[in-house]
Structure 1
Amino acid sequence: MANPAAVEHAGHSEPGEMSATVEHDAAHGAGHAAPVAFGIVGPAAWVSLAMLVFIGILVWKKVPGLIVGGLDTKIAEIRKQLEEAKTLRAEAEALRKEYADKIANAEKDAAAMLDHAKVEAEQIVAKAEADSEAMIARRQKMAEDKIAAAERGAVDELRAKAASAAAAAARGLISEKHDAAADRKLVDEAISAI
């Protein structure tokens, strides 16, 4: 419901004009009166004035400088931490690369050692085979020499026994079939041959 005074006042105004009270009633609803100090200072002006005083006190106490200084300090700390992180990352990358190189070198060294060990093992096996063949050949030759010596000894012994047996048999035959007349005949033949 509209304020009767406002309606009465609105009826006396020129067409197209609205009074300040009607505008205020329309904005804040009928029946509430807005506080006004000194006839010109309204609520918006009080809030603006309070904000200006608050901002003035903050500037007077150098609060923006403290805030900016604190923020600058934080920014400097963050930059320092970022630089440390970059340095640590670079060091970590260098260490990673170093260890990767060491691992690659260790793998190459292990492969080279394995190849070298294989070559040495093959050489040792080949030398052992050659040595065993040479030793077998030496022992075979020694055995053959012993067998040949034993054969020669046996042959010599058989010859000696055969010669002894032949001489004994010849002696026996000569003594049986040869008498003094046969001896004379042989001596005479030998003398006549001279």
Structure 2
Amino acid sequence: MSQNIIAERYALALFELAKEQGSVDKLVEELRVVKQVINENPDFIVLLTSPNLSIVEKKQVLNDVFAKASPLVSQILNLLVDAHRQNEIANIADSFIQHANAEKGIADAKVHTVRPLNEAETAAISATFAAKVGRQSLNIENIVDTNLLGGLKVRIGNRIFDGSLRGKLDRLERTLTT
């Protein structure tokens, strides 16, 4: 079975439970933290998949690291350890967040700019690009990239809108060399 299908099934089940309990927003925030911890510490998953630790020890590590997590998040993490699917934690968090965003008409976007965006610019970008992808708003992660020279590059899912000076120069170079 494909890893994405596995993550999708767990995420959908967790999403349905969270909807029943009215805790979708809380779980989105908690799962963002879980995902961030895993992405910033790749050795954490190596530890959780290690045959040197028992399942009880792995659960204890998870419970210690995510001690402030809600019972639902703790239960799904423990369930994943029981099922030997701890390497899917980040994928499940991603899928859960996508379900929550889809229900609210929100999309995640990475906006690359030369300098940090202020609140007005973030709101304007959200309004402009949300309409282009059929969403109501965007959760914007601003990434400062001085290589752009100017303008911005927006990535929403697998769509990229490149209005950066670097992108325009690269396209011009390709046109002139062909």
Instruction: Identify the structure with the greater helix proportion.
Output: 1
RCO comparison, higher one (Cα < 8 Å, 6+) = 2
Larger radius of gyration: 1
TM-score bracket for the superposition, by shorter chain length: under 0.3
TM superposition score normalised by structure 2: 0.16
